[in-house]
Amino acid sequence: MRVLLAAALGAVTISTVAVAQTPREEGLSAADAFPEPFSSLGNLRALSSGDLLVSDRVEKSVYKINFETGAYEMLGHNGQGPQEYDSPMGIFPIGDGASAVLDMGNTRIAVMDENGGISNTYPMMSDAGFKMPRAGDELGNAYYSGGSTFTMSRGGSSTPPPPATETALTRWNLESGAEDTVATLAIPPRPQMGRISIGSGGSVSGMPAPTPYRPLDEFAVAPDGRIGIVRANPYGVEWIAADGGKVVGPLPDYTPIPFRRSDKEAWAEAQAQPSGGGGAAMTIRTTGSGGGSRTVALPPPDIDEVEFPEVFPAFSRGAARISSEGDLWVQRDESYGIDGTPFDVFNSSGELVRRVRLPEGRTVLGFGPGALYAYSMDEDDLQWIEKYEIADPSASSSSRRR
In the prediction, which pLDDT does 14 show? 47
Which of 6-15, 205-214, 263-272, 276-285 is predicted with the least confidence, judged by mean pLDDT?
6-15
Name all domains of the chain by residue range, CATH numbers in brackets.
Answer: 38-146+167-184 (2.130.10.10), 212-273+302-392 (2.40.128)
pLDDT at 300 over 90: no
Which of 49-53, 181-185, 208-212, 303-307 is predicted with the least confidence, judged by mean pLDDT?
208-212
- DSSP of 242-303, one letter per residue? TTS-EEEPPPPP--PPB--HHHHHHHHHHHTS-GGGT--EEEEEE-STT-EEEEEEPPPP-G
Residue 8 is inside which H or E element, if any?
helix 2-9
Phi then psi for residue 129, to 5 deg, are 135, -165
pLDDT at 194 over 70: no
pLDDT at 154 over 90: no
Please report, for residues 201, 245, 255, 333, the alpha-carbon distance to residue 225 in angstroms, rounded to integers and kept in the order given. 47, 12, 32, 27
Q: What is the DSSP letter of 305?
A: G
In the prediction, which pLDDT does 63 show? 97
The answer to whether 174 and 140 have CB atoms below 8 angstroms apart is: yes
- State the Cα–Cα distance between residues 312 and 264, nearest whole angstrom: 11
In the prediction, which pLDDT does 276 show? 43
Phi then psi for residue 5, to 5 deg, are -65, -45
In the prediction, which pLDDT does 162 show? 60
Query: Mean pLDDT throughout 15-42?
Result: 81
pLDDT band, residue 191 (cuts 50/70/90): low
Which of 20-24, 237-241, 269-273 is predicted with the least confidence, judged by mean pLDDT?
20-24
In the prediction, which pLDDT does 156 show? 45
Higher pLDDT: 276 or 105? It is 105
In the prediction, which pLDDT does 302 show? 86
* Nearest residue to 235 via CA among 261, 216, 214: 216
pLDDT band, residue 78 (cuts 50/70/90): confident
> What is the model's pTM?
0.83
CB atoms within 10 A of CB 225: 19
Higher pLDDT: 215 or 96? It is 215
pLDDT at 129 over 90: no
Q: What is the mean pLDDT of the chain?
A: 83
pLDDT tens digits for 232-264? 999 999 999 999 999 999 999 999 999 999 999
Q: What is the DSSP letter of 395?
A: -
